[in-house]
Amino acid sequence: MMGTDITNDKPGLSRVDGRLKVTGKAKYAAEYDVKGLVYGVLVGSTVTKGSIKNIDTKKAEGAPGVLSVLTYLNAPKIPGYQTDSPPPKGPLKIFNNNQVYFNGQPIALVVADSFERALFAASLVNATYNVDTHQTDLKANIANGQIPGRGKDYLKGQEDAWKTAPIKIEQEYTIPTEVHNPMELHAIIARWDADDKVTVWDKTQGVKGTQRSIAQAFKLPPDNVQVNAPFVGGAFGAALRTWPHEIAAVLAAKAVGKPVKLVLSRADMFTSVGYRPYTWQKVGIGASADGKLAGITHEATGQTSVYEDFTEGVVNISQLMYACPNVNTRYKIVSLNVNVPTPMRGPGEATGAFALECAMDELSYQLNIDPIELRMRNYAETDPSNNKPYSSKFLSDAYKIGADKIGWTNRNQKPGAVTENGWLAGYGMAAGMFGAHRSSATVLARMMADGTLILQTAVTDIGPGTGTGMVTVAAETMGIPADKIRFDLGDSSLPPSPTQGGSQVMSTVGSAVHDACVALKEKFKALAGNGDATNYTQILKQQNLDKLEVTTASKGGEEQGKYSMYSWSVHFMKVLVHPATGVVKIDKAISVADAGTIISAKTARSQMIGGTIMGTGMALMEEAIIDHRYGRLVNNNFADYHVPVQADIPQVEAYFVNKPDLIINPIGAKGMGEIATVGVAAAVANAVYNATGKRVRDLPITPDKLLV
């Protein structure tokens, strides 16, 4: 059987934390009631490049309830920022000097006894600047692109071989800046418990990573930094690192001797916690008349900040996706006066897949070959970049499932040939891939005398249902009901786990949960002797024990060097385009994942639906716009920065190949969070072309671009 819609056949466990979330009992970073709490509000630079000439804080300091106004002039020195030589490029060191690198850069932090008073006082801070000429336009500065440090061009076979192929295309594609914009604003509460001990409640995708960052900045033993993040209201990559506002809150709490809460505004979210960078791409593809690829050249240039280099694997997908004898890629970055980008769901691959999968679609029309057939004729059975076998790959199954569910046979190869009720109708598809990673994690498993199993590890959950997946693994391994299992997470004092990002948590932590449960069962087996080793409560009673526990570390082995490991997806779209207005409606969306064993069917389905919605926003709406005259964002709000709402999205259907990959880990599961988005934007763009005959290569696909 190719695969099944397991969301119908096997619904699986409902979210173990669902009731806490929907009843409001789940507490997020800004919601903790900490005794003596005061409030911080950031003040941002109003210029884009230069230095602070003077910063007047007297009015703010004299405002009601204000405890302190921190700037580079009076803020306590952050120990980890002090060096004898000029620092190299790296994370922005807040309040370290008077330099301004981007518009909205924090230049002051007002602390007051209420949020409203802090917000008012922040409006009273006045700065003057020595202004320099700024650069924020990638296209205007693309000639200044540089190969990033330790980066290099990739070449397999002959360079630019596509140019001599019988059939070829070359096109340019651009993706604008996109902002993560999760529902929960970034927030932190910082409290010093002693001169060398601090506790924070923080929005973070990795409590251990945040613990290390704060410890390094303030020169503290890591164990003296307690980080709490039991619930995180979405992140998509924006909370993968410790940002300047987090360091500022810890610094302010030290300065005023009180716990400080700092919550970013929605406008701050556009300038303080990263984004998907504006990226220009050019793809050249050549093939023989029968559709066999002869060469691929993929170039990309993305933006970064002037103070820190950000790179991502935009061109890597062209090295890996198809069997092609000649592939070369080039990747550069341009330093601009913008805040630094950061990974955003499907980082690099989502950007690169838009260009590659649109180019493949364009080639299919040149060849007059069905887009799925073209991909199958160039299907890579082994990794094209290193000739290693895959740990598993069932993408061909995913193609078949998706084509059947979308009704691909209804597609007309001629663009603009089909209408439905006065709308142009079109079908498009695109594939996606992302590395299937397994790092290391440690899990404590403790069986209590009443039969309750407690699992503990420091991993966070940004929304995919991590706890639900881990409880499912434990229930199946231990042979006990899920409601007898508690999964503790989001606490830096718990055994170490990786940051939630890069589609690694289910593979890594799920395997650690499995291994811990197996070890615990072995311990019970030793105690039971010849008795029933599965009657855990009886064994504990017989041994006069109130609990039995193990702590197990788990990680991948030699297989990681022997195999190439990836998750795969394919996205199908049917769109309707109004010929008079250019309005695009998604009529039907099908996403199919090849992500190994599906552990938790309900949350897996949610992952795919959420990723498809995000990719649809990428295709049709999302664009952070800078007025380059001033270097300032003009749509840093939800009124002007458009994201999909309910009316924009039809019922998205998610399907799964659901075949285990037992090489990568003992539970057979691979990551899904990234492949849920990688390829979606290209599928939409390809469907729009099939409907209209107009190819939009500069996202987003807005009506004006279809009416020219």
For 283-313, letters b (16+ CB in 10 Å) and e give bbbbbeeebebbbbbbbbbbbbbbbbbbbbb
The answer to whether 669 touches 656, Cβ cutoff 8 Å, is no
Q: Which of 246, 312, 653, 674 is catalytic?
A: 674
Query: Residue 252's closest CA among 561, 32, 39, 43?
Result: 39
The answer to whether 490 touches 230, Cβ cutoff 8 Å, is yes
Distance CA 188, CA 190 (A): 6
CA distance to 512, 624, 634, per residue, from 640 (Å): 44, 9, 8
Q: Which residues contact 80 (CB under 8 A, 6 or more apart)?
A: 216, 217, 218, 219
Segments in 442-482 forming alpha helices (H): 466-478
The answer to whether 382 touches 389, Cβ cutoff 8 Å, is yes
Q: Which residues contact 427 (CB under 8 A, 6 or more apart)?
A: 406, 408, 410, 411, 572, 573, 574, 687, 690
Distance CA 75, CA 93 (A): 12
Instruction: Show the 3-state SS of 591-631.
Output: EEEECECCCCHHHHHHHHHHHHHHHHHHHHCCCCCEECCCC
Distance CA 226, CA 215 (A): 10
Q: Residue 674 catalytic?
A: yes
The answer to whether 468 touches 510, Cβ cutoff 8 Å, is no
Distance CA 74, CA 98 (A): 12
On the 0-12 / 13-18 / 19+ scale of CB atoms within 10 A, 80 is: middle
The answer to whether 317 touches 283, Cβ cutoff 8 Å, is no
Mapped onto helix, strand or coil, the DSSP state of residue 249 is helix
Distance CA 345, CA 78 (A): 32
Distance CA 12, CA 592 (A): 18
Q: Say how many C-beta atoms besides its own lie within 10 A of residue 143's C-beta.
A: 7
Query: Residue 523's closest CA among 495, 544, 548, 546?
Result: 548
Number of alpha carbons in the 13 Å side-chain half-sphere of residue 67: 21
* Tokens of residue 119, six digits: 């917000």
Distance CA 83, CA 553 (A): 37
Distance CA 512, CA 516 (A): 6
Q: Which residues have a catalytic role annotated? A: 674
